Chain A
Amino acid sequence: MYNDDEIELTLAERAALASLPREMETGDMLEARVVRALRDKGHFGEPPVRRRGSLQVMWRIAAALALFAGGVATGRYILAADVPESASISARASNDRNARDTTPRTETRPVRQNETVVAEREMWL
């Protein structure tokens, strides 16, 4: 229907099209208008704020990790220092537990200090 030959441009037409201006002068007002519109939308100056925010988050994460590692180290240090004592406590606690095994499971009983130490030791080691 639309043959390429039929719509082919003549050399004169090509030359005329090629000679059309490619640029139009823009004034300072247009630039100022566009920059102002972008500023109004809060575009310029935002990224530095974002960088500061992300830096703060990174410092907070680092501080949290340091606190956690400090806690782990302290716990290990305390448990390592108590090993002989807690081992004997553990043996005694085991005997006590065996003795109490005859009591019904549903019965409530107070938690003793020795049992807590054993549980902590098992958790860390």
Chain B
Amino acid sequence: MTAMELHLEPATVLEKPAADSDAALIAAAISGAEPAFRELFRRHTPHLLQFVSRVLGASRADAEDVVQDTWLRAYPALVTFRNESSFSTWLCSVGLRAALDSMRRGKRHIADTLFDEDTHAEPPRTEDRMDLEKAIGCLAPGYRMVLVLHDVEGFTHEEIALQLGIAPGTSKAQLFKARRVMRALLTGRENIDVQ
């Protein structure tokens, strides 16, 4: 044992938990260790912020509000996390609920018809091609949410249905429409033709 190792104190180890697994950090955070929580935050918030931002299609400030709300919900619920999925996936599902609630608070009429089969999104009238990120942002909220969850995050229709409280068939229908509109936006076609 070297002299350096002898001088290691628990506090020093706690300040550098980067090598710890998520499970160890979660356990420490549950017991009230702030450094462990901060490490967990630094590890998972960049993805959470990107996910929430994409789902909301809103400004960074709005996305950060939802991220804060997500952590405020997630921290007390850490004891319920059972390692059945990755922590990132679990956190995104909490973030999705926070985003939905945010949309309901802000624009109730939109949230109420979010997954209505008859809801159609009209692309902006433009002849210009859009980049993919911008095209996703232009989609109607219901379309955008399903497209991001399925095509970007890799959720299945069953998982999306469970998360959003809709039927798997509705998720498929929303994805179909979302992709159709997205293609139109990317190719700069004004008239959307399914065929």
- Contact of B34 with A44 in the complex, beta carbons under 8 Å: yes
Instruction: Please name the residue on chain B nearest to A43 by beta carbon.
Output: B75
Is the C-beta of A84 less than 8 angstroms from some C-beta in chain B? no
Which of B12-20, B97-105, B106-114, B169-177 is the contact stretch?
B169-177
Contact yes or no, B151 A25, CB < 8 A: no
- Taking A9-B179, A35-B38 as contacts, is the C-beta distance between A20 and B133 under 8 angstroms? yes
The answer to whether A31 and B32 touch across the interface, beta carbons within 8 angstroms, is no
Q: In the assembly, what is the distance between CA of A2 and CA of B34, in Å?
A: 49
B:30-77 near A, CB below 8 Å? 30-32, 34, 37-38, 41-42, 45-47, 49-50, 53, 64, 67-68, 71-72, 75-76
Q: Residue on A with the closest CB to B32?
A: A47
Alpha-carbon distance A24/B179, docked complex (angstroms): 24
A34 contacts across to B, CB distance below 8 A: 41, 67-68, 71-72
Interface size class of B (residues with CB under 8 A): 20 to 34
- Greatest chain A CB density within 10 A among B32, B34, B38, B49 is at B32
Other-chain residue from A6, A17, A31, A43 in contact with B38 (beta carbon distance below 8 A): A31
B132 within 8 A of A: yes
Sampled A-B contacts (27; CB under 8 Å): A6-B176, A7-B180, A9-B151, A16-B132, A17-B151, A17-B152, A22-B47, A23-B47, A23-B50, A24-B50, A24-B53, A26-B46, A26-B67, A30-B45, A30-B68, A31-B41, A34-B72, A35-B38, A35-B41, A38-B37, A38-B75, A41-B72, A45-B34, A46-B32, A47-B30, A47-B31, A48-B32
B interface residues (Cβ-Cβ under 8 A, vs A) = 30-32, 34, 37-38, 41-42, 45-47, 49-50, 53, 64, 67-68, 71-72, 75-76, 132-133, 151-152, 172-173, 175-176, 179-180, 183, 186, 194
